[in-house]
Structure 1
Amino acid sequence: MAHLTRRSAVATLAAAVAVPALAGTARAAAHPSRPRPLRRTHAHNDYEHIHPLFDALAHGFTSVEADIFLVDGRLLVGHDPAELDPSRTLESLYLDPLRKLIRANHGSVYRGYHHPLQLLIDIKTEGAATYLELDRHLVPYRHLLSSCAHGRVRTGAVTAVISGDRGARTPMEAQRVRYAFYDGRLDDLGTAATASFIPLISEAWTDHFTWTGTGPFPAAERAELRDLVARSHAGRQRLRFWATPDSAGPERDVLWRELYAAGIDWFNTDDLAGLETFLRAHGE
Structure 2
Amino acid sequence: MTPAAPVRISLLYLFLFLIPARYKELHAQCVVLPNAFAHNDYWHKRPLHDALDNGFTHVEADIYLQRGALIVTHVLHPVFYNRRRTLERLYLQPIEERVRSHGGSVYAGDNRPLILMIDIKTNSSKTYKVLAPLLERYRHMLTEYNDGQIIQRQVTVVLTGRKPSGLLAARNRLAFIDEDLRKTVNDTSVSDVFPIASCRYTRLLDWDGTGSMPQAQKKRLCAFVQFAHRQGKKVRLWASPEKETVWRALLDCGVDLINTNKLEKLKMFLLSRNPETTVLTHTN
- The TM-score with structure 2 as length reference comes to 0.85
Counterparts of 1:172-191 in structure 2, within 5 Å, are 172-173=168-169, 175-189=170-184, 190-191=186-187
Structure 2: distance between partners of 1:191 and 1:245: 28
Structure 1: distance between partners of 2:215 and 2:258: 21
Aligned to 2:72: 77
Is 1:109 matched with 2:73? no
Is 1:206 matched with 2:202? yes
Q: Structure 1 residue aligned with 2:88, among 83, 86, 91? A: 91
Give the secondary structure class of the aligned counterpart of 2:30. Answer: coil
Q: Shift in Å at residue 187 of structure 1?
A: 4.1
Show structure 2 runs of 5+ residues with no match: 1-21, 276-284
Segment drifting more, 226-235 vs 121-130: 226-235
Aligned to 1:48: 43
Give the secondary structure class of the aligned counterpart of 1:70. Answer: strand
Structure 2: distance between partners of 1:188 and 1:93: 32
Q: Partner letter of residue 49 of structure 1?
A: H
Aligned to 1:131: 128
Segment drifting more, 183-192 vs 222-231: 183-192
Counterparts of 1:8-19 in structure 2, within 5 Å, are none
Structure 1: distance between partners of 2:26 and 2:234: 29
Structure 2: distance between partners of 1:282 and 1:214: 19
Percent pairwise identity: 38
Q: Shift in Å at residue 33 of structure 1?
A: 4.7
Q: Partner letter of residue 166 of structure 2?
A: T
Structure 1: distance between partners of 2:90 and 2:35: 22
Q: Partner letter of residue 223 of structure 2?
A: D
Structure 2: distance between partners of 1:45 and 1:87: 18
Where does structure 1 differ by over 3 angstroms across 4 or more consecutive aligned residues? 30-33
Structure 1: distance between partners of 2:84 and 2:213: 45
Structure 2: distance between partners of 1:94 and 1:65: 10
Aligned to 2:231: 235
Aligned to 1:24: none
Q: What CA deviation, in whole Å up to 9, does each residue of 1:32-51 have, x standing for no partner?
A: 65212100100000001000
Residues 215 and 36 of structure 1, relative CA distance in 2, 3 Å threshold: closer
Give the secondary structure class of the aligned counterpart of 2:31. Answer: coil
Is 1:150 matched with 2:147? yes
Is 1:282 matched with 2:273? yes
Q: Structure 2 residue aligned with 1:217, among 200, 208, 213? A: 213
Q: What CA deviation, in whole Å up to 9, does each residue of 1:129-148 have, x standing for no partner?
A: 11121111100001110010
Show structure 1 runs of 5+ residues with no match: 1-26, 247-251
Give the secondary structure class of the aligned counterpart of 2:255. Answer: coil
Q: What CA deviation, in whole Å up to 9, does each residue of 1:2-48 have, x standing for no partner?
A: xxxxxxxxxxxxxxxxxxxxxxxxx99x9565212100100000001
Aligned to 2:31: 36
Give the secondary structure class of the aligned counterpart of 1:143. Answer: helix
**Which of 1 and 2 has higher RCO (CA within 8 Å, sep 6+)?**
2
Aligned to 2:157: 160
Segment drifting more, 262-271 vs 182-191: 182-191
Q: Shift in Å at residue 193 of structure 1?
A: 2.6
Q: Shift in Å at residue 264 of structure 1?
A: 1.1
Q: What CA deviation, in whole Å up to 9, does each residue of 1:200-239 have, x standing for no partner?
A: 1010010111112123311111111222222111110000
Aligned residues, how many? Answer: 250
Aligned to 1:119: 116
RMSD: 1.7
Segment drifting more, 227-236 vs 42-51: 227-236
Give the secondary structure class of the aligned counterpart of 2:194. Answer: coil
Q: Partner letter of residue 187 of structure 2?
A: T
Residues 32 and 58 of structure 1, relative CA distance in 2, 3 Å threshold: farther
